[in-house]
Amino acid sequence: MATQGDDDERSFFSVVPVRQATKARQAPAEKPHYLGHRDRLRERFASAGPDALPDYELLELLLFRRIPRADTKPVAKALLARFGTLAEVLGAPVGLLQEVTGIGPTVALELKVVAATAQRMARGEVQGREILSSWQQLLDYCRSAMAFEAREQFRILFLDKKNALISDEVQQTGTVDHTPVYPREVVKRALELSATAIILVHNHPSGDPTPSRADIEMTKEIIEAAKRLGISVHDHIIIGRKGYASMKGLLLI
């Protein structure tokens, strides 16, 4: 016959396991879906190289460091939708980059550091080399340095008697469609550097590299001033976002 103690014991063991089961059956937190994507993207880059990744995935890789706890794919695609190409994203001003959702000051600065590094690498390809035989490398460097500038920039490449690059300097920076250039200052700087030849380069922020009448006239004035002092002007290159124009190639000088 059951006693009061038996009833108490059955009551104790019938209640406690139910409480334990309730506490034990909590579902584990799910891992964010983008973490696996990041690992796969890194592995693909390491094994197949950058050519295996489209622009938006390369951008994702750049964004991983500064956006550690969010899906970077929508941000990368938004950047490309806004600016067009990876080169244009890296060339965009910090203020415009921050207009894209997900891009703050730190991320924008990181992208500009990458752009500056790419420019230094391109410059290394022409520094100290015979420029006229490294023409494509020169164009690549000029595009990386100037194609996406918001204002006109007038740059001079100073060369020695072997046509090797002595110095690369920004002579003037102007407005969106005009840069004041003074032939006397150009020639004076060439003499200071003992340069025997120069290449003129400037950008058109509009994107169209077609030389204007003012561009042609200014170039001819510089050629005349330089010629009197034995300095050659090899070319005047105009850089646009989609290409370039060579005044020498167009037979304008």
Domain termination site, one of 90, 121, 152: 121
If one counts the domains in the chain, the total is 2
Residue indicated by tokens 């004035």: 221
The domain of 98 spans 35-121
Cβ atoms within 10 Å of 243's Cβ, excluding its own = 14
Residues 159 and 180 in one domain: yes
Distances in Å between the Cα of 150 and the Cα atoms of 31, 89, 118 are 43, 13, 19
* pLDDT for the residue 173: 81
Distances in Å between the Cα of 17 and the Cα atoms of 4, 6, 9, 27 are 21, 18, 13, 19
- pTM value is 0.69
* pLDDT for the residue 122: 80
Which tokens sit at 225?
């001033």
Residues 157 and 61 in one domain: no
Question: CA 81 to CA 93: how far, in whole Å?
Answer: 16
Residues 111 and 155 in one domain: no
Report the chain (253 residues): mean pLDDT per 10 consecutive residues.
Answer: 52 48 53 70 88 91 86 93 89 91 94 90 77 83 85 93 91 70 92 96 92 94 96 96 91 91
Cβ atoms within 10 Å of 45's Cβ, excluding its own = 15
* pLDDT for the residue 215: 93
Question: CA 239 to CA 214: how far, in whole Å?
Answer: 16
Q: Please report whether residue 136 resides in a domain.
A: yes
**C-alpha angle 131-132-135 in degrees, rounded to nearest 5:** 80
Alpha-carbon dihedral 207, 209, 212, 215, rounded to 10 degrees: 110
Residues 44 and 110 in one domain: yes
